[in-house]
Amino acid sequence: MTESKCYGKLIGASLGPGDPELITRRAWAALQSGARWLYPVKKAEELSYALAIVERGGIAVPADAVELVFPMTRDAEILAKAWARAATQTVELLAEGRDLVFLVEGDASTFATFGHLARVVRELAPEVEVETIPGVSSFAAAAASADVTLAEEDETFAIIPAAYGVEVINHLLDEFDTLALLKVKPLLDEVIDLLEGRELLATSVFIEKVGSPAERIVRDIASLKGEKVNYLSLLLVQNPKRVRGELRRGCRKRQVAAVA
């Protein structure tokens, strides 16, 4: 009879977007728990943004930390091979019985590599236990740095990758009070034109590499036109002109009546 393998746990440790002081106590404890580190890179032996966050926090990188390569490409075939290779490598390490902590910039449940990795690992080894440690998202940290309130009382707020295009963004500006547009680099000029046409430049702010030593906040959005910004950049856009619909509170009224 074949003995079942005893896998270690796969832990996704959210580190926040750049400032090591935003690492939660829970993630900090996971980093120093004796679990083996995994960290993402775009190319082999390239610097890891997630790893740099931890290093700025003063924790030495263990000698046995392992990099996993996730190439920046939209080529489905290349991506599929990279994901399969990373997941297979992760399962092989987990089969040694030791926990693995995967370093995640931002929050592990929000546009992060970890969710996909964990899903493929579970497909290969369903018995693997996965733990996700939540963290500060880039848009929350950006709003704090730029002194922007994302939503108050009954206001609405949406988070989308700018890659959906200006038509979708234009539509959402009528549906939400605030938009967080992530990964704006490829479409920045088009988005600026849209905001200018809708007279929303004054209520928009650009934030790049939030929380890192290279953080940059730009309120004169038009000045960015034609500039090649960093991949880790986003726009917070508020539409004070949005026409709001009626807010229904019937459930609350019925609840009060029932108590009375």
- Looking at per-residue pLDDT, the higher value among 154 and 122 belongs to 122
In the chain, where are the structural domains located?
10-136, 139-238
Whether the pLDDT of residue 1 is over 50: the answer is no
Query: What is the per-residue pLDDT for 257?
Result: 36
Q: Which of 141, 10, 125 minimizes the C-alpha distance to 68?
A: 10
Least confident range from 64-73, 122-131, 226-235: namely 64-73
Q: What percent of the chain has pLDDT over 70?
A: 92
Whether the pLDDT of residue 120 is over 90: the answer is yes
Whether the pLDDT of residue 245 is over 80: the answer is no
Mean pLDDT of 79-104: 94
What confidence tens digit (pLDDT) does each residue in 27-84 have? Answer: 999 999 999 999 999 887 678 999 999 999 999 999 999 999 988 777 788 888 888 8
Q: How far is CA 141 from CA 90, 135, 148, 207, in A?
A: 30, 11, 10, 10
Measure the CA–CA gap between 173 and 180, rounded to whole angstroms: 11
Model confidence band, residue 246 (pLDDT cutoffs 50, 70, 90): low
Residues 6 or more apart whose CB falls under 8 angstroms from that of 65 comprise: 36, 37, 38, 39, 51
User: Cβ(8)–Cβ(91) under 8 Å?
Assistant: no
Fold of 139-238: 3.30.950
Q: Which of 90, 96, 77 minimizes the C-alpha distance to 122?
A: 90
Least confident range from 26-30, 119-123, 169-173, 246-250: namely 246-250
Residues 6 or more apart whose CB falls under 8 angstroms from that of 211 comprise: 16, 17, 18, 19, 22, 141, 145
Model confidence band, residue 253 (pLDDT cutoffs 50, 70, 90): very low
Q: What is the 8-class DSSP label of residue 22? A: G
Q: Reduced to 3 states, what is the DSSP secondary structure of residue 51?
A: helix
User: Cβ(223)–Cβ(201) under 8 Å?
Assistant: no
Please give the model's pTM, rounded to 2 decimal places: 0.86
So what's the architecture of 10-136 in CATH? Answer: 3-Layer(aba) Sandwich (3.40)
Whether the pLDDT of residue 134 is over 90: the answer is yes
Q: How far is CA 175 from CA 11, 74, 80, 143, 194, in A?
A: 37, 29, 35, 20, 16
Query: What is the per-residue pLDDT for 42?
Result: 87
What confidence tens digit (pLDDT) does each residue in 145-201 have? Answer: 999 999 998 899 999 999 999 999 999 999 999 999 999 999 999 999 999 999 999
Query: What is the per-residue pLDDT for 252?
Result: 42
Computed over every residue of the chain, the mean pLDDT equals 90
How far from each other are the two terminal CA atoms of the chain, in whole angstroms? 66
